[in-house]
Amino acid sequence: MQRLINDPDNVVEDGVKGYLKAHPELFAATANARVLKYPRAPIAGKVGVVTGGGSGHEPAFLGYVGENLVDAVAIGEIFSSPPARAFLDAFAAADSGQGVACLYGNYAGDNMNVKMAVKMAAKEGITVKTVVANDDVASAPRDQIEKRRGVAGEIFMWKAGAAAAAEGAGLDGVIAAAQKAIDNCRSIGLGLTSCTIPAVGKPNFTIEAGKMELGIGHHGEPGIEVVDLASADQAAEMMVRPVIEDVPFTAGDEVAVLVSGLGATPLVELHILYAKIHDLLGDAGLATHRAYVGNYFTSLDMMGATLTVMRLDDEIKRLIDHPCHSLGLTQGRQA
């Protein structure tokens, strides 16, 4: 394992120190070492937006704390849900009295910790409502959509929910916007190599040389099938089909597209992949309104990529186009 770390058991703490020092305009520390907030949070009159999850997915989750984005984040160990108290303290850091929207991904640990934190928050007089992302089509069949994992579609969910909050929506409006965004998102992953948790020191699982795994999860959860390593164009076809065949897409839809690297795939390869994805979506009658290609939601040092496609209507389009500033996502007023 060739890594730039100090102590494999302190990777998260040591990393947080760096984020705080490098980006003081985006991050402020809180009394809980596992919670960072936007320095201006809580923003008077605005619904607080909170997320949280395991580390190792950077820039997710903390990289989406920022202007018109997430107000506070709960930070877990590598690939491990944050503790309930971290979510609770993040709610408190984000709440201006207008309530908090907790927008997170569908994993057993996150579900339990958030649920306990929401209960604890109610005792402290903080109203929290939640949206659980479940955009990964490979993680369960369509008739068990509630079992699907949340992956990079979470970024669109945060973007839409936080933009609604910035526009002045109340808690129910923010929740509705975030829910609508994730309901219109579908994602899939493609892994070329495994990844190594520093504290474990060896790869979590194995993908043989010359193979790749379609439908792989963000923590290396096994996918739909292991296939021979193929060209970027062929990989794009394998990824686009299961995504657009899942509801809700129909020809004539406008979509936002996000291609994220899993951590160790060069940007040029992501763009080679995107070029074909763009054309395939066009062939299916889906017009790309906005595309995001880069390392938005990673899995440590895994090679590979995820594809997320979101169907747009006028409301979601406006929320996605809303300007924002954060480490993971910054955009101006115009696309």
Partner 1 sequence: MEQLDTPFLIRLFRAVALQLEEHREQLCALDGEIGDGDHGTSMANGFAAVARLGQRPETRALAPAAFLRQAASVFLGDVGATVGPLYASALLQAAKLYDTRPDLPVEELALLLQALTDGIAARGKADPGDKTMLDAWLPALSAAQQARGEGALAADQARAAAIAAEEGAQATITMIASRGRAARLNERSLGKLDPGAVSASLILSCFAELLASPAPGPGEA
User: Which positions touch partner 1 (CB under 8 A)?
Assistant: 54, 76-86, 107-109, 112-113, 115-116, 139-140, 147, 149, 197, 199-200, 204-205, 217, 219-222
Which of 218, 219, 278, 322 is an active site residue?
A: 219
Task: Return all residues near 286 (Cβ < 8 A) that are at least 6 apart.
Answer: 244, 249, 251, 253, 254, 255, 309
Q: Are 77 and 14 in contact (CB under 8 A)?
A: no
The partner residues of 259 in beta bridges, in order of sequence, read: 293, 307
Backbone angles phi, psi at 280, to 5 degrees: -65, -40
The answer to whether residue 271 is catalytic is: no
Q: Answer yes or no: 278 catalytic.
A: no
Catalytic residue among 57, 218, 278, 322: 57
What minimum distance in Å lies between the beta carbon of 114 and partner 1? 9
Name which of 46 and 149 has its Cβ closer to partner 1. Answer: 149
Nearest distance in Å: CB 20, partner 1? 20
Give the 3-state secondary structure of residue 228.
Answer: strand
**Contact of 13 with 36, CB cutoff 8 Å:** no
Tokens for 6, please give them: 């100090």
Between residues 20 and 199, which has the closer beta carbon with respect to partner 1?
199
Nearest-approach distance from CB 221 to partner 1, in angstroms? 5
**172 or 225, CB closer to partner 1?**
225
Asked if 62 and 298 touch (Cβ cutoff 8 Å), the reply is no
Alpha-carbon distance of 28 to 25, in angstroms, equals: 8
Q: What is the 3-state secondary structure (H, E, C) of 208-227?
A: CCCEEEECCCCCCCCCCEEE
- Taking the complex as a whole, how short is the minimal distance between the CB of residue 269 and partner 1, in angstroms? 25
Nearer to partner 1, 15 or 109 (CB): 109
Q: Which is nearer to partner 1, 17 or 147 (CB)?
A: 147
The amino acid present at 64, given as its one-letter code, is Y
Element (H, E) at 8: none
Computed from CA positions of residues 173, 178, 179, 181, in that sequence, does the dihedral angle turn out positive or negative?
positive
Angle at 195 between CA 189 and CA 199, to 5 degrees: 140
CB of 275 to partner 1, least distance (A): 30
CB 56 within 8 A of CB 49: no
Judged by beta carbon, residue 204 or residue 331, the one nearer partner 1 is 204
Shortest separation between residue 250's beta carbon and partner 1, angstroms: 28
Q: Which is nearer to partner 1, 174 or 190 (CB)?
A: 190
Q: What span, in angstroms and rounded, lies between the C-alpha atoms of 194 and 205? A: 6
CB 309 within 8 A of CB 302: no
Q: Which long-range contacts (CB under 8 A, 24 or more apart) does 27-32 make?
A: 27/62, 27/65, 30/72, 30/89, 30/90, 30/93, 31/89, 32/85, 32/86, 32/89, 32/90
Instruction: Find the shortest distance in angstroms from Cβ 192 to partner 1.
Output: 18
Active-site positions read 57, 219
